[in-house]
Structure 1
């Protein structure tokens, strides 16, 4: 729904809950509570009817139109532009950046500022290079440059190929799934119609910028490239990056694409960059290294410092250290030893130093040994699953699925059952409290077990899109049951409460903020807001119900009802949200010392310190080399798996 309707629904839900609670006290002024609650329920349904997109815009039940897809593409372009610009700033590419050199296998050499112009002449390109040569950075800068110049052109969608399994998904299906995951507002059927992301891909209003063909398993690369060629044939826009050797081994060309190879950095530019990112004292320490590079321009150290990754690592880890140790041939006999040493020092130098944390604006100084252990656990888990992205919602996969489901179900069942049992213990039938609490707990636990499966939400169809119909039907059904058991007032309050809860579910089901840049913290914040808003509203509703049913003249019952309603509302709000299952996994892993308690804060600080980077709603290690070193992978394993 639109942002206005979304806010209006949320405001109406809060007002309905507050006014329902106020119905407890208006009886002192001679107002019949049944009449009050009946009028409130009818007014709430009338508000939902006025705001219901399904009633007023029936076209929203159909496929997205050309106009709605244009709006979706424009909003998506704004979100991606903000997202990648922010990531570019976080990596320091706006302030001090190495000028990447590239040369076409068939064409003239150039610099990174010419990549966008070259792509506009031929919108199919393959960027090749050695590990750390800047392929991902080039793809990101190209994406930003194309978004800067975009008018009505297709939107460049930068995606890591490490998240695609060619044996399980078609490439376009994978792109559609990633769009929904990173930009959930595309499910907003009122603004964009049904299947907006599917149609954006199908009608080629977005085009793929695919990073890291080498990250697909070797036995699947040929099939993956063949699928990409068939999905995006001819002159349709396409960008692909890969390591040089892995691309050559596949032996399948990208039809019509200009093949571009990133070149080693110029040693004078390397020296200039390292001086620019160092204070005068540190810059002086680099001079022996620069002299060595001039004397041995083809030596092991010059070869190691020929990539942007290695140069950036050197600038970071030797910000306060002694870079002349790199001249020790016995410690660092070849390029690999130097690169591994720099990657190891990145993690050691990023944590445990107050000055570094302050400069990076990290929230706190994390202990070096614990930070390394936590990152090693994450790197090992990512390698076990064969992924290069760390989505917070995927943390659940680091636990046994059955154990996760049982822990989550038992916890929610205990919370919900305790809330119901505690309320009944002070109600008119306290002897039924244990049985009622146990039954409620079992019901919640069973629902949690069912919800623990990792399911992709499907768009509602037909009348199930109607805000007022679904809320009215479910609220009426619950109200009739409670009314028969406890009287008209209780039925009205509980029925209104269920209608409010369903309306909240609609209000939070899809975000109207498609133009908002995606990030891990933002996607999690949406789940948290849904949890606590739903919990508080249901707390007010159940508090009113408890006061009316069990103690109309006892103010203490209202407070008890509020507390118990908060507990039960929490259990009902989190059942189908990724945040709950992430929280269960996070707490379990923190208890075992595998991860910190403040995991999201730690990950964001690791990003500020340069160990991680952000890709949409997920994190990645700054480079595959850093992840592999933390996972304890030997160079031979990296080569064979890449």
Structure 2
């Protein structure tokens, strides 16, 4: 058996092969949608999610339509984002499976005429330009992706509920529908027509509390955090305007992953939303929710099982023109429609796994053995059990995998078991420090910080006094300081929120002006006041130099950097006056809007926090060192400045850095569980091999069944 193509353009969603009505539609998507996504999650983020600052200069499509340029740019960003993600999830290549749907017969929505508006005689949403109204006759027989887009764009209620069985390909269908909606919008050349076609945006419902925020408020916040287009002054207001004017349509995934009571509250809150809506859910959860709360005016359509002919054609398309006898026999049996194999391959997940696990010349006909594989579940479990090995097998013409299949499977089993134990699908890397005991890391941080940060002070004490007592005192002080830093680092073992603070969040125009005012006030006051009480005052420029850190600390404490200087001597003086600021940022957003993938978010946190920690250390050194150097002697000032820099940098840049804590935990897990030392690198590699997928800064297994199977196999017999 050979591995799936590890090319970055390979991926899988909910299951695997994507859907399409024709190859032409796929090529049109490529030609018609362009732009920039700041996240490979994703600028999108599903779950607890994040991003990188990319500034676009937007010219409004119509001078009288101030939001037209914003909407057009959002369409380009979303198109590029999901074009990339669809490629990574293998929704476009090779020729995808067709999507087929029918109006659901489950009790998940009201009457069809309530959605089409035929009896009421009026529509909440008019048909999109170029599309006709969705009527009972037009939707009665179901159809494919093009018909689904016609329903989406012509439904009078603007409420479409997309349901299906687990692994039916609901998310894949939603993504392809979104891309078709973008293609349709791009085809509207006239700005007036384009303004009437909303920009589809896919979000996860994770993290929304309808009791706290309305649908518009929540969506505006998510758009602001996840798309740099809405950053800066007035960004959230623009997002809200687009939503209120119906110029954005929301594709909401993950309703089935929300707890029951919250699902009902979400559905109730969405009923009055002023925008078009596509809600994706597993059928069972949708039925349970509808017993308490139904989405008024919604049309429920259900994704149908894959037809045998479609599955056989899809598998044969990736094989040589003359397939091996084993593949010929398997596809022949599949077309005959008999046995557990035919039942198993009605699921896109199983089809994708079969394609990944078995190569052109592998004995795929072994799956026809009903003694070994008596049920469809047995076939699916067999494919799931070999998915990791296939992904990490050496493939001719491709680089050797960085990790062995044994290491990969051991690591993924450990992760799956941990997530299952926590009752979640989301692998939040900033929660990894809580996966193992913190004591070994605490001891290591204690020793390293005491030695590295304490050495300059001990050396200084010895040089100044050549006496044993100050040297011993300095050593004890270094040990105490190292213990304090270790305690701060150990606190990150408790799950923390992922702050979204970045350079432009901290150094805003307002905070920088506040810092400059504070600096000039204090520096000028000292320049004017000190000469009145001392004849041997330092020159005025020195006062402006040593008071610069006061301005720097003012910048931090008036913005999202207040916790950087908290508990830092001198710089934290007066921070208590900023309780309102801390209250405003007590619940930091869970999305870091400066990175492109979970690994990039991790790198961003390392770089930002370390740099700010060093800047804070430099500020404290600048605050103390020059005065000591001027009044006493230069060596003392320099050594004190270096000591302040090291201790402050360690306390504010390392000890409280979630990314550093995650990296240290990865080293500890390597020795305890045999996982890779570079765990974040491994997770990204597993994503490229289609075992994981990314939703913002969060990783997930490509499908719940894969997580469940790996977790079950990690348990002792």
Q: Check whether TM > 0.5.
A: yes
Determine whether 1:595 maps to 2:675. yes
CA shift for structure 1 position 491: 6.7
Please show how residues 152-167 of structure 1 align to structure 2 within 5 Å: 152=195, 154-161=198-205
Distance in 1, matches of 2:302 and 2:370, equals 30
Q: Residues 365 and 587 from structure 1, CA distance in 2 versus in 1: closer, same or farther, beyond 3 angstroms? A: closer
Instruction: Provide the residue aligned with 2:609 in structure 1.
Output: 531
CA shift for structure 1 position 283: 5.2
8 Å contact kept, 1:103–1:109: yes
Instruction: Provide the residue aligned with 2:152 in structure 1.
Output: 119
> Unpaired segments of 5 or more residues in structure 2?
1-63, 105-138, 187-193, 562-587
Q: Residues 103 and 458 from structure 1, CA distance in 2 versus in 1: closer, same or farther, beyond 3 angstroms? A: closer
Equivalent in 385, 392, 398 of residue 422 of structure 2: 385
8 Å contact kept, 2:441–2:490: yes
Q: Residues 225 and 355 from structure 1, CA distance in 2 versus in 1: closer, same or farther, beyond 3 angstroms? A: same
1:190 is paired with a residue whose SS is coil
Instruction: Provide the residue aligned with 2:330 in structure 1.
Output: 289
Instruction: Provide the residue aligned with 2:55 in structure 1.
Output: none
8 Å contact kept, 1:382–1:388: yes
Instruction: Provide the residue aligned with 2:8 in structure 1.
Output: none
CA shift for structure 1 position 500: 4.8
Equivalent in 93, 96, 102 of residue 95 of structure 1: 93
Instruction: Provide the residue aligned with 1:209 in structure 2.
Output: 251
Instruction: Provide the residue aligned with 1:468 in structure 2.
Output: 513
8 Å contact kept, 2:614–2:653: no
Equivalent in 334, 342, 348 of residue 308 of structure 1: 348
Summarize deviations over 1:291-311 as a string: whole Å, max 9, x none: 21233x143211111122211
Q: Residues 605 and 514 from structure 1, CA distance in 2 versus in 1: closer, same or farther, beyond 3 angstroms? A: closer
Please show how residues 263-274 of structure 1 align to structure 2 within 5 Å: 263-274=304-315
8 Å contact kept, 1:547–1:555: no
Distance in 2, matches of 1:454 and 1:284, equals 55
Instruction: Provide the residue aligned with 2:295 in structure 1.
Output: 254
Determine whether 1:190 maps to 2:226. no
Summarize deviations over 1:189-225 as a string: whole Å, max 9, x none: 43626x87788777876544222433334xx16x513
Determine whether 1:327 maps to 2:368. yes
Q: Residues 365 and 466 from structure 1, CA distance in 2 versus in 1: closer, same or farther, beyond 3 angstroms? A: closer
Instruction: Provide the residue aligned with 1:520 in structure 2.
Output: 598
2:496 is paired with a residue whose SS is coil
CA shift for structure 1 position 314: 0.6
Summarize deviations over 1:581-606 as a string: whole Å, max 9, x none: 43344343334226321112111111
8 Å contact kept, 1:423–1:564: no
CA shift for structure 1 position 346: 0.9
Please show how residues 598-637 of structure 1 align to structure 2 within 5 Å: 598-632=678-712
Q: Residues 121 and 514 from structure 1, CA distance in 2 versus in 1: closer, same or farther, beyond 3 angstroms? A: farther
Instruction: Provide the residue aligned with 2:496 in structure 1.
Output: 454
Instruction: Provide the residue aligned with 2:283 in structure 1.
Output: 244
Instruction: Provide the residue aligned with 2:132 in structure 1.
Output: none
8 Å contact kept, 2:256–2:286: yes
8 Å contact kept, 1:285–1:323: yes
Summarize deviations over 1:498-550 as a string: whole Å, max 9, x none: 64576589999799x99988421332232233134335556766777758845
CA shift for structure 1 position 412: 9.1
1:103 is paired with a residue whose SS is strand
Determine whether 1:496 maps to 2:531. no
Summarize deviations over 1:308-334 as a string: whole Å, max 9, x none: 221111111102532111101011111
Please show how residues 108-187 of structure 1 align to structure 2 within 5 Å: 108-122=141-155, 123-148=158-183, 149=185, 151-152=194-195, 154-161=198-205, 179=223, 182-183=226-227
1:366 is paired with a residue whose SS is coil
1:388 is paired with a residue whose SS is coil
TM-score (structure 2 length as normaliser): 0.64
Name the count of aligned residue pairs. Answer: 555
Summarize deviations over 1:574-633 as a string: whole Å, max 9, x none: 465532343344343334226321112111111111111122232221111111111118
8 Å contact kept, 1:176–1:198: yes
Distance in 1, matches of 2:322 and 2:458, equals 67
Instruction: Provide the residue aligned with 1:355 in structure 2.
Output: 395
CA shift for structure 1 position 354: 2.3
2:418 is paired with a residue whose SS is helix
Q: Residues 606 and 502 from structure 1, CA distance in 2 versus in 1: closer, same or farther, beyond 3 angstroms? A: farther
CA shift for structure 1 position 387: 2.2
Distance in 2, matches of 1:442 and 1:621, equals 38
CA shift for structure 1 position 565: 2.8
CA shift for structure 1 position 433: 3.1
CA shift for structure 1 position 135: 0.3
Distance in 2, matches of 1:468 and 1:216, equals 44
Distance in 1, matches of 2:221 and 2:421, equals 22
Instruction: Provide the residue aligned with 1:44 in structure 2.
Output: none
Please show how residues 31-70 of structure 1 align to structure 2 within 5 Å: none
Summarize deviations over 1:44-92 as a string: whole Å, max 9, x none: xxxxxxxxxxxxxxxxxxxxxx999888766655443332221111122
Instruction: Provide the residue aligned with 2:317 in structure 1.
Output: 276
8 Å contact kept, 1:518–1:616: yes
8 Å contact kept, 2:203–2:253: yes
Tell me the C-alpha RMSD between the 2 structures. Answer: 4.9
CA shift for structure 1 position 120: 1.0
1:126 is paired with a residue whose SS is strand
Summarize deviations over 1:85-130 as a string: whole Å, max 9, x none: 2111112222211121222345232212333232111232112222
8 Å contact kept, 1:81–1:147: yes
Q: Residues 196 and 608 from structure 1, CA distance in 2 versus in 1: closer, same or farther, beyond 3 angstroms? A: same
